[in-house]
Amino acid sequence: MRRFSYRSLISEALNAHQGWQRQWRAPDPKPSYDVVIVGGGGHGLATAYYLASQHGITNVAVIEKGWIGGGNTGRNTTIIRSNYLYDESAGIYEHALKLWEGLSQELNYNVMFSQRGVLMLAHNVHDVQSFKRHVYANRLNGIDNEWLSTEECKAFCPPINISQDIRYPVMGGALQRRAGTARHDAVAWGYARGADSRGVDIIQNCEVKGIRRDASGAAVGVETTRGYIGAKRIGVVAAGNTSVVMQMAGVRMPLESYPLQALVSEPVKPCFPCVVMSNAVHAYLSQSDKGELVIGAGTDQYVSYSQQGGLHITNHTLDAICEMFPQFTRMKMLRSWGGVVDVTPDRSPIIGRTPVQNLFVNCGWGTGGFKATPGSGHVFAHTLATGEPHKINAPFTLDRFRTGRLIDEAAAAAVAH
């Protein structure tokens, strides 16, 4: 791997940029691997990277049916924060946030992590009480999160309309200053490049069609559109398609897959300093470094794999944005798209073993897993390498839906995040 540095930039500039190499190979699949990862999104690629870099396991393949990062990773609105309510969630999201803070250096790849702050607006008494509860719970866990009055919200983010005669007036907000955004593609590409340089095979345009099991029931490999590939261990990291892939091994999942949409506006000069989320009206807004407003909407109400959602959903979000930020009423929207998000009953992920020997799963990140990418990959790599969960992902078992030990962020937030 050729490292990016000031020197390499200068020398390539003098060389008309003719000398840059491919960032990862395009190898043919080997007959078998120590670990096969199904799904080349951020989480799958991060898992492969940490398997190689932390555990020295390099005989690894990432099998992706399309192109890497083409799933939810490349479709998300990139909000990164760690101010979740429960200790278990705080543990994993804060683990991820700490890794984000050093990620560009670690990967020698600019993931454009920008800690511009995420402000979550409260619009009713319930929001106020629940956000303050989050602030206190977060403090106990050593996570920064502070309560801002309506006027302080306005001072932090001047475009906000704080007039009290709008449909959902702003009653204050919770601000995590260390939170922010990152460049989604760069995360996939940076991990892919780092994993590839350590020997991991990234195999794109290869769909997993079946999971082969031996007489004892243990998983031994995957059937793909490029033939059979043996594996000592298999990690399924297929987001919205997890139910489909796990069904190949006869495992039924507590998941439902919903469309979730986002849209971007025409690019304009810098005018929006932070990320604003409003769960009550389903509006998530930030401005990309290119100048586009990046807007997240809510999920549709029905299960779907169509990667598109209803226009009334985005319309509803734009209504809310126009009311909260009147300066944007004349902005033109350029593109909108949808992803398929895998939602668990308690809105917390599932990371760990399955009833099938040698088959592991990392899923259920739903509407909010981009922020967890480094942490999720890190603990899942540990789980695949040792066969045992890391202490951070130990509570996020599949079995919790049998024992009743849920991590109910759904009840805590009651919305997409």
Partner 1 sequence: MLLIDCPCCGLRPETEFRCGGQAHVARPEKPVDVGDQDWSEYLFVRANPRGVHAERWIHQHGCGRWFNALRDTVSDRFVETYPMGGKPKSTTTEARA
- Residue ranges that bind partner 1, judged by CB under 8 A: 241, 243-244, 252-257, 301-306, 310-312, 345, 401-404
Of residues 227-266, which lie at the interface with ligand FAD (CB under 6 A)? 237-239, 241, 245, 260-262
282 vs 382, beta carbon nearer partner 1: 282
The single residue among 178, 183, 347, 371 that binds ligand FAD, judged by CB under 6 A, is 371
136 vs 302, beta carbon nearer partner 1: 302
The single residue among 2, 8, 19, 66 that binds ligand FAD, judged by CB under 6 A, is 66
What sign does the dihedral 13-189-175-160 (CA atoms) show? Answer: positive
Burial class (CB within 10 angstroms; exposed 0-12, middle 13-18, buried 19+) of 204: middle
**Partner whose binding site includes residue 41, from ligand FAD, partner 1, none (CB under 5 to 8 Å by kind):** ligand FAD
**Partner whose binding site includes residue 169, from partner 1, ligand FAD, none (CB under 5 to 8 Å by kind):** none
Q: Is 282 in the site for ligand FAD (CB under 6 A)?
A: no
The total number of residues shown for the chain amounts to 417
In the complex, least distance from residue 390 CB atom to partner 1, rounded to whole angstroms: 24
Dihedral angle over CA of 91, 93, 99, 103, nearest 10: 170
Are 181 and 78 in contact by the 8 Å Cβ rule? The answer is yes
Coarse DSSP helix, strand, coil percentages of the chain, rounded to the nearest 5 percent? 35, 25, 45
DSSP 177-201: TT-EE--HHHHHHHHHHHHHHTT-E
Distance, in Å, from the CA atom of 155 to the CA atom of 158, rounded to the nearest integer, reads 6
**Partner whose binding site includes residue 64, from partner 1, ligand FAD, none (CB under 5 to 8 Å by kind):** ligand FAD
> In 3-state terms, what secondary structure has residue 276?
strand
228 vs 401, beta carbon nearer partner 1: 401
Task: Tell me the two tokens of residue 233.
Answer: 């261990």
In the complex, least distance from residue 292 CB atom to partner 1, rounded to whole angstroms: 25
The single residue among 278, 358, 367, 393 that binds ligand FAD, judged by CB under 6 A, is 367
Burial class (CB within 10 angstroms; exposed 0-12, middle 13-18, buried 19+) of 290: exposed
Q: CB-based contacts of 62: which residues, under 8 Å, 6+ apart?
A: 37, 39, 40, 44, 45, 48, 68, 192, 195, 200, 201, 202, 203
The single residue among 49, 57, 72, 265 that binds ligand FAD, judged by CB under 6 A, is 72
Selected range binding ligand FAD among 19-27, 32-40, 266-274, 407-415, rule: CB under 6 A? 32-40
Q: Is 374 in the site for ligand FAD (CB under 6 A)?
A: no
Residue nearest ligand FAD by beta-carbon distance? 41
Selected range binding ligand FAD among 70-78, 126-134, 326-334, 391-399, rule: CB under 6 A? 70-78
Tell me how far apart the 2 most distant CA atoms of the chain are, in Å: 68
Count interface residues toward ligand FAD (CB under 6 A).
39
Binding residues for ligand FAD, rule: CB under 6 A, are: 38-44, 63-66, 70-73, 75-79, 207-208, 237-239, 241, 245, 260-262, 296, 339, 341, 365, 367-371
